[in-house]
Amino acid sequence: MLFSYDNIETPAVFIELDKLEENIAAMQVLADRHGLRLKPHAKTHKSLQIARRQIKSGAVGITVATVDEALVFMHPEFKSLTVSRPIVSSLTLDRLLKAARDNGLEVAVTIDSIEGVKLLLERAASLGYQPQVFLKIDVGLKRCGLNPESKDLIKLAGILNESQAVHFSGIMSHAGHAYGASSKEKIAEIAEFERTAMLEIKENLLAQDIPVETVTVGSTPTILAAESFEGIDEIRPGNYLFLDAFSPRTGVAATSDISLSVLATIVSTNEEFFITDAGSKTLSSDAGGHGLSVVKGFGVAYPVEHFLSEQYAMPVSALSEEHSKILKGKLELRPGNRVRIIPNHSCPVVNLAARLVVVDEEKIDYWPVDAGVGAKLP
């Protein structure tokens, strides 16, 4: 059987398996070429099936953002987990540490404050589990992380290094502001700033006799654009395996590399718009990675027969919950016709879906979004 769009109910998060597998393989090749450990961020796919493919292709473990996600991937087959958002609540931290202890799994947590350090040392000692710890560094996103110039950096690293309750692993950064850059060259500059800032911090820590086993960095744009990884030990890209509207805009990847689109049906038409069944509850209202509104509208739609053909591209100009308005293009589409939409940001699209519709030439498969909004939490 050759796959047919008519056999798929919409709206559907549509994954092209061959492109997904190529993106997973290409990132592993990049990591291997530079001698980097790859610990991909699973907040993008939230899928056990996809994480298994990443591990099989050579990933050393999985990064997650939340403890809820960590619990879904808390299994020896995923080798080692890093939780990249700082945890400062004992309720949440206890769930993680207990699960790691009971499953005998290596878990790393991330910290950027004295409050976080105190809580971690106390809970780790009390629960009898020794987590790995990364100090988070802010290299320009101005979200989490210590300023590279901060005096607290050496102080916190010293406390972590001296404690028997945890194992100080090193320093972590995420240059997410690269999503707002206008070109591959600008992204490469951000990556180089991040690399040199992280290596300087490592030097400063070593000068205080604080060992730094791992310097871990990661965002899809910076990894795809970076010119040097010298001194870096680990990368944590997430978005790379699906990609979305940001990648062709900056030239870090081609439109044809994007493996995720939203399959939607035209349910109505008027003079100006085609109306589809994929609204904000499917596409999300996200303007792009980190909410950086560098793209206009809510995605780009193509008639399925002309997917990725620029002359048929139509902007998704407005969303309501269950509908999107697509500005009419070259073809007159009718109710029942299908379009494929490249979203602004793949990660929230997946998070909102119960399942991924995974397609290759031969067949259609359905993979659950195991750690998505509908996930049953352990």
Ligand X SMILES: Cc1ncc(COP(=O)(O)O)c(C=O)c1O
**Residue ranges binding ligand X (CB under 6 A):** 41, 44, 84, 174, 176, 218-220, 236-240, 289
Measured from the CB of residue 147, what is the shortest distance to ligand X in angstroms? 16
Token output for 18: 């061959």
Cβ-based nearer residue to ligand X, 258 or 264: 258
Q: What is the DSSP string of 69-101?
A: HHHHT-SGGG-EEEE-S----HHHHHHHHHHHH
Cβ-based nearer residue to ligand X, 10 or 173: 173
Cβ-based nearer residue to ligand X, 183 or 268: 183
The answer to whether residues 188 and 148 touch, using CB atoms and an 8 Å cutoff, is no
- Determine the Cα–Cα distance for residues 59 and 80; give it in Å rounded to an integer: 10
- Determine the Cα–Cα distance for residues 26 and 220; give it in Å rounded to an integer: 12
Cβ-based nearer residue to ligand X, 214 or 220: 220
Measured from the CB of residue 226, what is the shortest distance to ligand X in angstroms? 13
The answer to whether residues 302 and 274 touch, using CB atoms and an 8 Å cutoff, is no
Cβ-based nearer residue to ligand X, 69 or 370: 69
State the first-to-last Cα distance of the chain, in angstroms, to the nearest integer: 38
Nearest to 301 by CA among 284, 272, 325, 270: 325
Measured from the CB of residue 65, what is the shortest distance to ligand X in angstroms? 6
Q: Does the N-terminal peptide bond of residue 11 adopt cis geometry, omega within 30 degrees of 0? A: yes
Measured from the CB of residue 363, what is the shortest distance to ligand X in angstroms? 29
Write down how long the chain is: 378
Cβ-based nearer residue to ligand X, 24 or 333: 24
Measured from the CB of residue 288, what is the shortest distance to ligand X in angstroms? 11
Cβ-based nearer residue to ligand X, 41 or 195: 41
Measured from the CB of residue 93, what is the shortest distance to ligand X in angstroms? 18
Cβ-based nearer residue to ligand X, 260 or 359: 260
Tell me the residue number closest to ligand X, measured at CB. 238
Q: What angle do CA 282, 283, 288 make, to 5 degrees?
A: 150
The answer to whether residues 315 and 302 touch, using CB atoms and an 8 Å cutoff, is no
What backbone torsions phi and psi does residue 41 show, to the nearest 5 degrees?
Answer: -85, 120
Phi-psi region of 145 (alpha: psi -120 to 50; beta: other; left: phi over 0): left
Measured from the CB of residue 157, what is the shortest distance to ligand X in angstroms? 18
Measured from the CB of residue 220, what is the shortest distance to ligand X in angstroms? 3
Cβ-based nearer residue to ligand X, 169 or 276: 169
In Å, what is the CA distance from 160 to each residue of 113, 114, 119, 123, 153? 12, 10, 12, 14, 11
Token output for 315: 């902007």
Measured from the CB of residue 48, what is the shortest distance to ligand X in angstroms? 19
Residues 67, 69, 74, 75: what is their CA dihedral angle, to the nearest 10 degrees? Answer: -170
Nearest to 98 by CA among 72, 80, 119, 124: 124
